[in-house]
Amino acid sequence: MEITVERLEAGLIGTLRIEDDCNRPLLKKGDLVHLRYPPKLQIKDMVLYRANESYYLRRIIKTKEDDIYVAGDNEKEYRIIKKEDVIGRVVSRERKNKMLSFSLAPKKKFYTFKKVKLAYWRLGNRVINLEQDITNESLELAAQSIDNKTLFENKTEIKTNLDLDSDLASFLNPDTLVLELRGANDAKNSANNNQQQHAKMIEEIIEEVEYVEVAEEESEEVEVVYEEVETEYQVEESTEEVIEEIVDNSVVDDPQD
């Protein structure tokens, strides 16, 4: 365990890079912890001590007179040390440029070691779940990016993978062009025939209308002529009657003379 001991501000004496997993989940491998010289020690403090020419980072679980019982958060065995063996107390942890202060941990006496361990374990699970969610979101975004890239490549391949020779050959095929021209001519002729038939029907209707109008006019003229003839005939009859009366009167007058 490599320890960097130096005199820093705010009473810090050094930093320590975690290289084992005995204190998971609160302290993971690769985390950087900040140490401070402890004026006094309490239960649940994470302390750095020296034993047998080696350095260890463990949590205080019990004190009895001058003896201090320590164990890792991920360990079931404990060790007994003296207060003189303690070098410093962990006050904060740094992970991926994020700082977690250990002073926020509960300090009430009714918390036992198991309860504190359970609390840290739950906290660690929440952190793990949060990191897992972030990882899953990153994986989903990466998968979507890959799918979009693959789809774009497929579309590009479909657009560029063209057989120009076959396309031009089918486009310039004489038989195909002749059939298309014939079809266009047939459609044009059919349209012209329909238009001519329509015009012819309109002309026939107009002729019938004109014939009816002429017939009506002729019938009106015949009626007028008939009325004139009848009037003349009546005039002639009245003239003849007048002449006959005059003749009769003249014949009657002659014998009297």
- Domain extent listing, the chain: 3-106
Instruction: Determine the pLDDT at residue 6.
Output: 46
Homologous superfamily (CATH) of 3-106 is Umud Fragment, subunit A (2.10.109.10)
Distance CA 21, CA 18 (A): 8
Where residue 83 falls among pLDDT bands split at 50, 70, 90?
confident
65 contacts 30 by C-beta, under 8 angstroms: no
> How far apart (Å, rounded) are the C-alpha atoms in residues 117 and 132?
22
Q: Name all contacts of 225-231 with Cβ < 8 Å and 24+ positions apart.
A: none
d(CA 18, CA 121): 18
Q: Is the pLDDT of residue 84 over 80?
A: yes
pTM: 0.37
Tokens of residue 221, six digits: 């003229």
At residue 134, the pLDDT reads 67
pLDDT in tens, 4-51: 444 444 456 677 888 888 887 778 888 888 888 777 888 888 888 888
Residue 90, pLDDT above cutoff 80 = yes
Rg (alpha carbons) of the chain, rounded to whole number: 62
Q: Residue ranges of the alpha helices (H) in 102-173?
A: 113-160, 164-171
- Tell me what pLDDT residue 110 has: 40
Taking residues 176-204, what's their average pLDDT?
Answer: 72
pLDDT over 60 (residue 114): no
12, burial (CB in 10 Å: exposed 0-12, middle 13-18, buried 19+): middle
Across the range 199-215, mean pLDDT stands at 68
Give the pLDDT confidence score for residue 251 in this predicted structure: 47
Residue 96 near residue 31 (C-beta atoms within 8 A): no
Tell me the pLDDT of the chain averaged across its residues.
Answer: 68
Omega of the bond leading into 38 within 30 degrees of 0 (cis): no
